[in-house]
């Protein structure tokens, strides 16, 4: 057995419809029970929009957002949703309507926000490799006519980046505008994160700057004209389920901030990054409001404004990847269920060995109901890695049966590709009894759009 499927092999059955509040099993008339997203049966969405499709509950997004806000109520704060977790325009627009700001990691993400007319005052730019062009774009950014130019904050991750930012900022004429606000992303050297690929807060990682070096930068540029020291930031990793590493990192960040204050550098913003985990199968993550309260408790006495960059904890649970069984087959050792969704739609299993529970969408006929038959749930892509779960007790399913691949909202569509010349899936937003297409499925024509016959 490949060592790469350790966390996805032989798991006990989990049915997220039983604990996620906006998905549920309901009976429609005299028919079999089936899974609903809010008030809409998933089977209806599959008939109308086809599969594979990402289906989001808008209420789930709102509740997650409000949960974090509730915890932070006692301190001035701005939640900045991490766009890389999910960049769908309708979802970003909905989050903006709730008051969310945005954390971006590329010029492309900034262009998305510009398309929506999001104010620069709500945008934080993170990332270890911002190009000169991207820095220029952010300095010139104007989300709408009333906006001053620029964004709320650049989180710089190296001395070289700071140099480039100062160079570019000095070129921009600033008749009426203030110098751009800058923070250093400090690497607090705290171990956290669900998987080696998503732990970012250790000295060995490429992210951030170790404190002694960061401190030197703050002091060396205290009198800078082209930029304005405004904050300090950290982001220690992703899918972190305990509050302890967050607390440790935050306490370090707070002590750095006080150190700078003693040196006469008064920062306005404390940016605590993102990283709160969710329950995929058996995890027990801290609640969003406890997480917010812990932050408020440490940040409150500092008298600063808190910036928070959650991605996964806002969007992961809101979504299922709806898929159909194409074939089933078995050999002397194993049963396989072959879906029409694949690793190009959802990379997380092969990339992080992430276990996404998979369930039926319509209850089985009584004959099969109690079957705990285990099978490998795979996609059609020509890679052994194209496996969602190994020895998963899905029970017996047949061709054309619908299944839900749960918790697909974060780093789901966002990481999807056209591998095997597969068009990317449709996305559907559900609110109450309404289901709305928010991204159409890609066609063969879309796939050919950028090819140039040379
Ligand atoms: C990815 C990222 C986030 C969001 O992380 P989640 O685990 O999705 O909450 C926040 N800040 C930065 C700098 C990131 O790179």
Question: Is the C-beta atom of 194 inside 6 A of ligand 1?
Answer: no
Asked if 188 contacts 203 with a C-beta cutoff of 8 angstroms, the reply is no
Q: What end-to-end distance do the CA atoms of the chain give, in Å? A: 44
Tell me the pLDDT of the chain (454 aa) as tens digits: 455 788 999 999 999 999 999 999 999 877 899 999 999 999 999 999 999 999 999 999 999 999 999 999 999 999 999 999 999 999 999 999 999 999 999 999 999 999 999 999 999 999 999 999 999 999 999 999 999 899 999 999 999 999 999 999 999 866 556 899 999 999 998 877 556 666 666 667 778 899 999 999 999 999 999 999 999 999 999 999 999 999 999 999 999 999 999 999 999 999 999 999 999 999 999 999 999 999 999 999 999 999 999 999 999 999 999 999 999 999 999 999 999 999 999 999 999 999 999 999 999 876 555 578 999 999 999 998 999 999 999 999 999 999 999 999 999 999 999 999 999 999 999 999 999 999 999 999 999 999 999 9
Look up residue 326 and give its two tokens: 């194409």
Task: State which fold the 3-56+316-448 domain adopts.
Answer: Lyase, Ornithine Decarboxylase; Chain A, domain 1 (2.40.37)
Asked if 425 contacts 345 with a C-beta cutoff of 8 angstroms, the reply is yes
Look up residue 400 and give its two tokens: 């054309």
Question: Is the C-beta atom of 439 inside 6 A of ligand 1?
Answer: no
* Nearest ligand 1 atom to alpha carbon 411: 8
Q: Name which of 271, 372, 370, 320 is nearest 13 in CA terms.
A: 372
Q: Which CATH architecture has domain 58-314?
A: Alpha-Beta Barrel (3.20)
Q: What is the pLDDT of residues 6-38, one digit of tens each?
A: 899 999 999 999 999 999 999 987 789 999 999
Other C-beta atoms lying within 10 Å of the C-beta of residue 361 = 22
Span from the CA of 69 to the centroid of ligand 1 (angstroms): 17
80 is catalytic: no
Span from the CA of 288 to the centroid of ligand 1 (angstroms): 15
**What residues does each domain of the chain span?**
3-56+316-448, 58-314
Q: What is the pLDDT of residues 391-449, one digit of tens each?
A: 999 999 999 999 999 999 999 999 999 999 999 999 999 999 999 999 999 999 999 99
For helices 89-98 and 107-115, angle between their N-to-C axes, nearest 10 degrees:
70
Question: Is the C-beta atom of 274 inside 6 A of ligand 1?
Answer: yes
* Nearest ligand 1 atom to alpha carbon 275: 7
Residues 6+ apart with CB under 8 A from 391: 9, 10, 11, 374, 375, 376
């Amino acid at each position: 057995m490949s060592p790469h499927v350790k966390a996805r092999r032989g798991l006990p059955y989990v049915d997220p419809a039983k604990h996620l509040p906006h998905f549920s099993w309901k009976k429609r008339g005299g028919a079999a029970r089936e899974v609903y997203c809010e008030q809409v049966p998933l089977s209806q969405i599959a008939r109308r929009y086809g599969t594979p499709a990402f289906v989001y509950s808008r209420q789930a997004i709102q509740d997650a957002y409000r949960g974090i806000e509730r915890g932070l109520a006692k301190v001035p704060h701005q939640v900045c949703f991490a766009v890389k977790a999910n960049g769908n325009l309708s979802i970003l627009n909905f989050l903006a309507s709730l008051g969310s700001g945005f954390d971006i990691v590329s010029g492309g993400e900034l262009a998305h926000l510009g398309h929506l007319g999001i104010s620069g005052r709500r945008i934080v730019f993170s990332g270890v490799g911002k190009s000169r062009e991207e820095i220029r774009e952010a300095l010139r950014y104007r989300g709408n006519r009333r906006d001053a130019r620029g964004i709320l904050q650049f989180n710089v991750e190296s001395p070289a980046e700071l140099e480039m930012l100062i160079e570019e900022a000095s070129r921009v004429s600033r008749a009426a505008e203030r110098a751009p606000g800058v923070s250093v992303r400090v690497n607090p050297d705290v171990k956290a994160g669900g998987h080696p690929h998503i732990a970012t807060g250790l000295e060995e990682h490429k992210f951030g700057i170790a404190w002694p070096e960061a401190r030197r930068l703050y002091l060396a540029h205290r009198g800078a004209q082209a930029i304005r020291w405004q904050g300090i930031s950290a982001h220690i990793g992703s899918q972190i389920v305990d509050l302890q590493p967050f607390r440790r990192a935050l306490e370090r960040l707070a002590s750095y901030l006080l150190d700078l204050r003693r040196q006469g550098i008064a920062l306005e913003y404390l940016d605590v990054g993102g990283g709160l985990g969710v329950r995929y199968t058996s995890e027990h993550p801290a609640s969003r409001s406890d997480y917010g309260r812990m932050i408020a408790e440490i940040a409150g006495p500092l008298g600063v404004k808190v910036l928070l960059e959650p991605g996964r904890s806002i969007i992961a649970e809101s979504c299922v990847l709806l898929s159909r069984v194409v074939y089933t087959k078995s050999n002397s050792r194993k049963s396989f269920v072959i879906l029409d969704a694949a690793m190009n739609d959802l990379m997380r299993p092969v990339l992080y060995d992430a276990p996404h529970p998979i369930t039926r969408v319509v209850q089985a006929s009584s004959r099969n109901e109690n079957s705990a038959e285990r099978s490998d749930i795979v996609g059609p892509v020509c890679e052994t890695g194209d496996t969602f779960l190994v020895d998963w007790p899905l029970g017996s399913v047949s061709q054309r049966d619908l299944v839900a691949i749960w918790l697909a909202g974060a780093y789901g569509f966002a990481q999807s590709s056209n591998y095997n010349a597969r068009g990317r899936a449709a996305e559907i937003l559900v609110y109450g009894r309404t289901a709305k297409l928010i991204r159409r499925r890609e066609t063969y024509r879309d796939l050919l759009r950028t090819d140039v016959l040379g």
